[in-house]
Amino acid sequence: MAFREYRIGCVMFGVALSLSMFITIVLPGIDISSMSSTKIALEKQLTYGWETGFNYYDPFLQGKDKPIKVTLTKDPMSGAAIDKTDAFVFPAGTHFPNGLTHDNILGDDVQKASVEVGKIDQANEEQGGVFLVRATADDVPYIEYATTTKGWTVDATLKAADEQFLAGSGKTMFVREGCWWCHTLLPEQTQDWQSFGRPPLVGDFNGESPTTFGSDRKAPDLLHVGSRNSSREWMVMHFFNPRLVQPHSIMPRYDYLWGSVDANGQPIDLAAWDEAYLAYDNGESINAPVVPLPAADSEARMLIDFIINLK
Amino acid sequence: MLKYLFSKEDDIPQGTAAIFFGVSSIAWFIIGTGLGSFNAAKLAFPDLFHGLYSLQFGHVRQVHVHAVIFGWIAMAFAASMMYITPALGNTKLWSEKLGVWNCMLYNVGLCLALALLWAGVTSGREYSDHIWPIDLYIAFVMVVPWCLNVWMTVINRRTQGIYTTNWFFAGCMFMTVIVFLVGNMPEWLHLTGLNEAYMTWWFAHNILGLLITPVAAAITYYIVPKITGNPLYSHRVGHLHFWSIVVFYSTPAAHHLMSSPLPEWLKSFASVEGVLILVPAVAYVCNILLTMQGRWAMFVENIEIKFTITGVLLAIPLNMQGGFQQTRAINWYIHGTGWIVAHAHLALLGFSTFAEAASVYYGMQVLLRRKLWSASLANFHFWMLLIGFSLYWTSMTISGLIQGAAKIYEVPYVDVVIAEHPYMIVRWLGGTMVFFGNIIWLYNMIMTARAGDPVPVGRQPAEIAYTR
């Protein structure tokens, strides 16, 4: 070997690099992995499912293989009135997030409560099911597998739902359309409290992938945007053409996420809409053209659901 | 090029792989900066290209980043290594054929990778946006053969020692493979949560710190002594540079996430290590500038030295920013603003690009044995790059400071967008100048290959730059 005269150097190089990787990967890995999930982390996992970037089950990021978040005001099986509850419905075959499939993600206490009280060990992906996020008397959050504990089935829960959010599919859109190149999901610890709300805690991310913090904030932080603005009408106009509601916005138009037909089954003609908008923009007509309502299965609806669900 | 893919090793002229990599890198530079300019236009005037749905900002933004990093910068590195490593080992490249195949498969892979990013098929992790099958391709088809060529050439050298440039090349390629495989662990193993977020930035930090910055520095360690004729000022300082890169540059990854809820000890550790990056930085800049002693006229007269030394001078503000902007005292103000965008372009479009441009200019002339076709066009290219970059950096720094002020005074966000508008226009202008400068460069290089004056045996292209 012609590196013979550099033997000491090569060994030193290996030692230095290994030590560096031990300090910057192994030690933080142990520390971060020991963090227990917060309630937010449990909700996020159950909302977004297994993975919202590229994965086997949704290779072209079309929002497939995702759970549906629903709000309930009556028990799906008995029909009796209950307090307003969020439930997370995994249709049969939907892949579970890491927290449900690995016992080292949620944190010891959360995992224990989720298994002993929440019965999550009885859930499997083939049959799917309905999940809830609860807290014990000691305020330890846990996941409850309502299909076992309450007998709630997927079909009955979807039928009884007041509202359905395709927020998991919407996060896939958020990743695919590159929203996170401008909008961060990370209020900063030092100064963002007033405008953008509470910065996340260390346990808020367990099992989420990708986290899409964003790095280059060219637009408002969105982590709590649903608390500031929960108007679906505003969102629909804003995604179709941001200049309709904010003349100075530099956000791209996402009108193409509407697909070919609107909520009433009418075909959408983007060129005609643009023409009418141009006339409005030039002051030739008084009213802006009407923004079509997104169809229930459109990508625009998924993305809006994701945004509104960011509380 | 296709001719050489199936030639015998001995039938392939020396330098073929370097020339192919060099030409590819210039082409990708044009594509990458063109996309950058296009994106900048959108940030100034969002409806400018309305209707071109295939070129939505959110889809093209990462294509720009990866076209310049994996296309321009990495391929310019490959071109440089394929001719500098054998030259410094007094030998020939280990395998020209492997190099030619490497270049072709590199271009094919990059087209595929960028097409997927363009379609939105992404891992959703900045700088490691590529999906894991593409990561595998990059690691084992694009990078490993390249490493093999560099390492085998160093091992088969016919000199006694290894010059600074070559141990940087060999060491950095080793670290690149490690960083690439370890940094993409979240994808291989489906790591989630903060671990994933942290590993994303561990990768981003180390790919910049252990590949792009030190290899660009290694190139200047070759170009400056070679063209000026001065020996390197100090090999010991070169050692200091190398070892402090390995120790200090590989550790501060967490300083990219200073305002996230990572463990506080990790952020403090990263911040201190981040300031220590000034050790290799100062050692390097001093070493190169002192090597220039007595030859400073070449900074004006010689195009390669002009590019190289401009790059080294840009490394001074780069490292001063880099060392201090990540401390808690400053980071809270500028984190996530245009300041960081300006800093990233200072590293990649300032320091690194100027060093590589010099290396590609020099390498193409030496390997083709042709004098540069037009020194005027080369100077024009230089000034387009420098003025374009300066406009870009200045406007983005100012807009970053505006954003920072708005952030702490909690100004409604749309007022920031309004205030930034003029700077977004200047940014677009600067990026467009760089783009047009690069088109001129490609033209100049094609004309050099076709109609450049032959360089006589035993002469350096730089020596006859002004003879007719």
pLDDT one-digit tens code per residue, A147-169: 999 999 999 999 999 999 999 99
Handedness of CA A96, A99, A104, A108 (dihedral sign): negative
Residues 6 or more apart whose Cβ sits within 8 Å of residue B27: B71, B442
Q: Is residue B447 scored above 50 in pLDDT?
A: yes
Q: Is residue B283 scored above 90 in pLDDT?
A: yes
Starting at the edge strand found earlier in the chain, the sheet holding A129-135 runs: A141-145, A129-135, A81-90, A68-74, A163-165
A172-308: which CATH number, 3.40.190.80, 1.10.10.10, 1.10.760.10, 3.20.20.80?
Answer: 1.10.760.10
In the prediction, which pLDDT does B244 show?
95
Handedness of CA B57, A58, A95, B187 (dihedral sign): negative
Q: What is the mean pLDDT of residues A200-227?
A: 93
Identity of the residue in B193, B407, B412 whose CB atom sits nearest the CB atom of A205: B193
Query: Model's pTM, two decimal places?
Result: 0.95
Q: Is residue A246 scored above 90 in pLDDT?
A: yes
Measured between beta carbons, the chain A residues lying within 8 angstroms of B414 are: 246, 248-249
- Residue A289 and residue A298: Cα distance in Å, rounded? 20
User: In this prediction, what percent of chain B has a pLDDT beyond 70?
Assistant: 100
Q: Give contacts of B 265-294 with A, CB under 8 A.
A: 265-266, 269-270
Q: Is residue A2 scored above 60 in pLDDT?
A: no
- Residue A133 and residue A130: Cα distance in Å, rounded? 11
Structure tokens at B179: 């960083």
Identity of the residue in A188, A220, A248 whose CB atom sits nearest the CB atom of B259: A188
User: In this prediction, what percent of chain B has a pLDDT beyond 90?
Assistant: 91
Identity of the residue in B51, B131, B196 whose CB atom sits nearest the CB atom of A211: B196
Range B10-449: architecture per CATH = Up-down Bundle (1.20)
CA distance B260 to chain A (A): 7
CB contact under 8 A, B155 and A1: yes
**Domain spans of chain A, in order of start:** 39-166, 172-308
CB contact under 8 A, B195 and A32: yes
Q: What is the mean pLDDT of residues B382-401?
A: 98
- How distant, in Å, are the alpha carbons of A49, A70, A134, A148, B189 from that of A118? 18, 19, 8, 9, 27
Measured between beta carbons, the chain A residues lying within 8 angstroms of B58 are: 177-179, 181, 252
Closest-approach residue (CA) in chain A for B248: A20
CA distance A13 to chain B (A): 8
CB contact under 8 A, B253 and A24: yes
The answer to whether A97 and A46 have CB atoms below 8 angstroms apart is: yes
Residues 6 or more apart whose Cβ sits within 8 Å of residue A14: none
Least confident of A182-186, B186-190, B295-299, B464-468: B464-468
Q: What is the mean pLDDT of residues A231-240?
A: 96
Closest-approach residue (CA) in chain A for B175: A17
A266: amino acid identity, one letter: Q
Q: Does B101 touch chain A (CB under 8 A)?
A: no
What's the pLDDT tens digit per position in B148-165?
A: 999 999 999 999 889 999
CB contact under 8 A, A13 and B246: yes
Q: Does B254 touch chain A (CB under 8 A)?
A: yes
